[in-house]
């Protein structure tokens, strides 16, 4: 007897997330075809709409695999199902045109060249052999070429490159991996490279393959080349050439700040740095950030000037076809295998993206420009992260590869813009349950950076469709970002205390709804306090609606304000003065100052002239760095603290003893013990390690006391000081061993690059309560 035919079912599926411009419709088409299902798929204003029909088992399998096996660049944030009457449409499945009705979709970030495109790039038989702009739906630029939404070629910077017949065929074929890949092009119809030599350099201009060969030859000869990438220009030189590295450092006036290095492949990375499995995954993933790795002592040929005074090295791998070709394909003349790749700008300025501007702003820095004619719609610096021992990642700069991917908010917010702070600035837009960070902007110290922030705001609004109803900013009255926010709002913005925003940022990243406060440990360099002093060593009891300052580092004078930060020796002397300890001539911080400097500083402290009080933990790290003889003058932000951490790392396993703070966070006994150990001849590395242990144990002790007083058992660690791997790891370990739930930053930076997220959720919460 013949079994009865299975009755067909039909189901409507709506998919939300980053599902456009990533090959999602071809993926759905292939999945439905493989399962012999009928129906259609279409882009809509809110994501992707699918209607699928066939046997119940097949439809169920389709729905199950839809979210589990998406294309590489897709991020599915929600799937909805609705049963419909079957139509008897059979097993024909089609791709319908995009619905352009109003709404908002999610744009994927820029991603590294995929393996298929790399294979074509190196295949002499392929029509895209050596094509510097090879891309497909699985890789390449998105955010940095998009000028509007919905995402289509007409609203990208590829609009000026009409497709040839073969590219148009690929673009229109649902079964081709270049179906609706907006940057698709080939050597015949796409962007072109050109080499522009500096005036008087004796170098010939060149185009295309010759431009790449000339750039490689210049780098091998020790020259500096400005290379146009996805989100702006890099300044590049041979990382093994000490003279070239020193020339770049001098021209850019970079001081001793470490450079990032791009290696040709993983074998080259292993020559200069220790590489764990987790770090390898971070390096080779589609985001291709700069990853902080522990430098090998021998560093096999790396110029000493690449990262002086640092045990870590920022490393990345090629992420565009131009980078791959710059290192060379088999048979090419040899060139450097490791390149310094630093942002194409003068120190303190935003990254350069415009070609004409590059020729003027980078004049005197570069010997040649390797440029191309595809415009950059938005600047986007390289992202930076470190990998913890447990394999989790801590993003320190969230930009290329992440932006504009949204973060899910634990509480709904009305349309809002948060402008962050003045250092490591990044904006954040929010609406409903989503927040979008803009790319890293940098330090808001001049008109060029403020203009970059204005453009970033405009671009992000255009891509997200968010029209802010409120604007949030830092409470510091002198911040450029705060004044800019007031101009944007046309009235006073919602002002959020700096360290409250840090803790709220960690809470939001971890999905806390704010109904129960946390014990917030906010350690950083500076933040405007509610009492008008400089805060930065704060233990807060905080939720989104407010906070209470439970404890803080004992304050000390900050002589000269920001100018004093560049002189850790003065900070050390101010800390000794506040602790009632003498300035004996045998102390390194005393001997680092000339007599006149000591006399002026003594009068300044005695009279309280230009000496703001600060409870900053970052400044205490700077002071201890000088006190133990590690760093007395800082050439870049956090140099003294970074070098103190580097010293501590060398003694970390050998010495686990710690000094003790008084009354929770009074450092006077710690300073006194450091002075005593100095006079016993204790090495600086051991002193540095003991200080780190002391801070971590003081944090654990204060959190225990706060738990006894309040019953709270969740601790959030935030602020730039927690970019210190040793301190963050020990604090987290001690707290976890004591039964606390510990919130550590992951994708949202702990420094001021993550500040805007906290401002956003706090401001939205405060306005809801009004």
pLDDT at residue 660, as a whole number: 94
Span 248-280, pLDDT tens digits: 999 999 889 999 999 999 999 999 999 999 999
> CB of 248 within 8 A of CB of 224?
yes
pLDDT of 1? 45
Q: What is the mean pLDDT of the chain?
A: 93
DSSP result, 124-138: TTSTTTT-TT--BTT
The confidence score (pLDDT) of residue 5 equals 59
Tens digits of residue pLDDT in 191-245: 999 999 998 878 899 999 999 999 999 999 999 999 999 999 999 999 999 999 9
pLDDT tens figures, 665-702: 999 999 999 999 999 999 999 999 999 999 999 999 99
**Sign of the dihedral defined by the CA atoms of residues 254, 642, 714, 766, in that order:** negative
What is the SS3 assignment for 474?
strand
Residue 180, phi then psi, degrees to nearest 5:
55, 30
Q: What is the pLDDT of residue 11?
A: 95
Quote the pLDDT of residue 148: 86
pTM of structure: 0.94
Residues of the chain predicted below pLDDT 50 = 1
Is the backbone of residue 643 left (phi > 0), alpha (psi -120 to 50) or beta?
alpha
Give residues with Cβ within 8 angstroms of 415, minimum separation 6. 429, 430, 431, 466, 467, 468, 469, 470
Q: If we measure between CA atoms, which residue out of 177, 160, 179 comes closest to residue 168?
A: 179
- The pLDDT assigned to 345 comes to 92
Q: Name every residue whose Cβ is closer than 8 Å to that of residue 688 and which is 6 or more positions away in sequence.
A: 624, 625, 628, 630, 644, 645, 647, 648, 651
What pLDDT does residue 78 have?
86
Instruction: Give pLDDT, residue 769.
Output: 60
- The backbone region for 253, taken as left when phi is positive above 0, alpha when psi lies in -120 to 50, beta otherwise, is left
Residues 407, 411: Cα–Cα separation, whole Å:
12
Q: Using only C-alpha atoms, what is the Rg of the chain?
A: 28
Q: To the nearest whole percent, how much of the chain has pLDDT over 90?
A: 82
- Distance from C-alpha of 698 to C-alpha of 734, rounded to nearest angstrom: 10
Identify the burial level of 491 via C-beta atoms within 10 angstroms of its C-beta, where 0-12 means exposed, 13-18 middle and 19 or more buried: exposed
- DSSP string covering 618-656: HHHHHHHHHHTTS-SS-SSTTHHHHHHHHHHHHTTTT--
Task: Give per-residue pLDDT as tens, 738-753.
Answer: 999 999 999 999 999 9
* Per-residue tokens: 169: 């065929």
């Amino acid at each position: 007897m013949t079994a009865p035919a299975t009755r067909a079912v039909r189901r409507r599926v709506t998919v939300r997330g980053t599902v456009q411009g990533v090959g999602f419709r071809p993926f759905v088409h292939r999945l439905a075809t493989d399962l012999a299902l009928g129906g259609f798929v279409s882009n809509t204003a809110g994501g992707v709409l699918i209607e699928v029909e066939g046997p119940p088992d097949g439809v169920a399998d389709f729905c199950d695999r839809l979210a589990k096996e998406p294309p590489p660049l897709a991020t599915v944030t929600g799937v909805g199902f609705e049963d419909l009457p079957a139509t008897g449409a059979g097993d024909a499945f089609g791709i319908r045109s995009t619905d352009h009705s109003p709404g908002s979709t999610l744009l994927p970030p820029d991603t590294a060249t995929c393996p298929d495109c790399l294979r074509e790039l190196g295949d002499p038989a392929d029509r895209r052999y050596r094509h510097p702009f090879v891309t497909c739906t699985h890789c390449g630029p998105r955010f940095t070429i998009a000028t509007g939404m919905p995402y289509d070629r007409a609203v990208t910077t590829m609009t000026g490159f009409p497709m040839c017949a073969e590219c148009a065929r690929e673009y229109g074929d649902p079964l081709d991996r270049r179906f609706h890949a907006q940057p698709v092009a080939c050597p015949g119809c796409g962007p072109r490279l050109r080499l522009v030599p500096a005036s008087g350099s004796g170098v010939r201009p060149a185009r295309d393959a010759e431009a790449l060969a000339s750039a490689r030859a210049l780098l091998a000869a020790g020259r500096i080349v400005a290379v146009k990438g996805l989100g702006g220009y890099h300044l590049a030189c041979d990382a093994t050439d000490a003279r070239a590295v020193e020339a770049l450092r001098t021209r850019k006036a970079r001081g001793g700040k470490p450079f990032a290095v791009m290696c040709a492949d993983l074998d080259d990375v292993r020559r200069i740095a220790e590489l764990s499995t987790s770090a390898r995954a971070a390096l080779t993933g589609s985001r291709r950030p700069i990853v902080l790795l522990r430098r090998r002592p021998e560093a096999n040929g790396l110029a000493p000037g690449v990262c002086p005074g640092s045990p870590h090295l920022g490393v990345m791998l090629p992420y565009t076809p131009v980078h791959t070709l710059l290192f060379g394909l088999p048979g090419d003349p040899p060139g450097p295998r490791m390149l310094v790749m630093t942002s194409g700008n003068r120190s303190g300025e935003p990254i350069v993206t415009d070609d004409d501007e590059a020729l003027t702003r980078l004049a005197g820095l570069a010997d040649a420009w390797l440029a191309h004619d595809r415009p950059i719609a938005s600047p986007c610096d390289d992202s930076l992260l470190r990998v913890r021992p447990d394999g989790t990642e801590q993003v320190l700069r969230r930009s290329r590869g992440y932006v504009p991917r949204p973060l899910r908010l634990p509480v709904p917010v009305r349309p809002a813009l948060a402008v962050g702070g003045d250092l490591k600035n990044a904006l954040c837009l929010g609406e409903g349950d989503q927040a979008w960070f803009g790319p890293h902007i940098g330090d808001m110290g001049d008109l060029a950076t403020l203009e970059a922030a204005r453009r970033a705001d405009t671009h992000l609004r255009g891509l997200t469709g968010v029209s802010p109803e409120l604007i949030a900013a830092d409470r510091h009255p002198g911040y450029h970002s705060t004044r800019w926010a007031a101009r944007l709002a046309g009235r006073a913005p919602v002002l959020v205390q700096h360290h409250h925003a840090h803790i709220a940022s960690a809470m939001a990243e971890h999905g806390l709804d704010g109904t129960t406060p946390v014990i917030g440990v906010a350690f950083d360099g500076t933040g405007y306090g509610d009492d008008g002093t400089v805060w930065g060593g704060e233990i807060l009891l905080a939720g989104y609606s407010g906070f209470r300052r439970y404890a803080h580092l004992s304050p000390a004078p900050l002589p000269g304000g920001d100018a004093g930060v560049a002189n850790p020796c003065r900070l050390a002397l101010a800390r000794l003065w506040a602790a009632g300890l003498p300035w004996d001539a045998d102390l390194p911080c005393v001997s680092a100052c000339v007599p006149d400097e000591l006399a002026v500083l003594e009068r300044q402290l005695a009279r309280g002239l230009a000496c703001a009080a600060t409870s900053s933990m970052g400044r205490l790290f700077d002071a201890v760095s000088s006190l133990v003889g590690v760093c007395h003058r800082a050439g870049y932000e956090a140099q003294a603290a970074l070098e103190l951490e580097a010293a501590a790392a060398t003694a970390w396993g050998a010495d686990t003893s710690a000094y003790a703070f008084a009354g929770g966070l009074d450092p006077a006994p710690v300073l006194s013990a450091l002075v005593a150990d100095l006079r016993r001849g204790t090495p600086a590395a051991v002193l540095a390690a003991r200080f780190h242990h002391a801070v971590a144990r003081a944090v654990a002790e204060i959190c225990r006391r706060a738990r006894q007083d309040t019953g709270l058992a969740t601790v959030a660690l935030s602020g730039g000081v927690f970019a210190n791997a040793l301190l963050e790891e020990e604090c987290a370990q001690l707290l976890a061993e004591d039964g606390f739930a510990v919130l550590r930053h992951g994708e949202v930076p702990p420094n001021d690059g993550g500040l805007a997220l906290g401002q956003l959720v706090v401001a939205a919460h405060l306005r809801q309560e009004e």
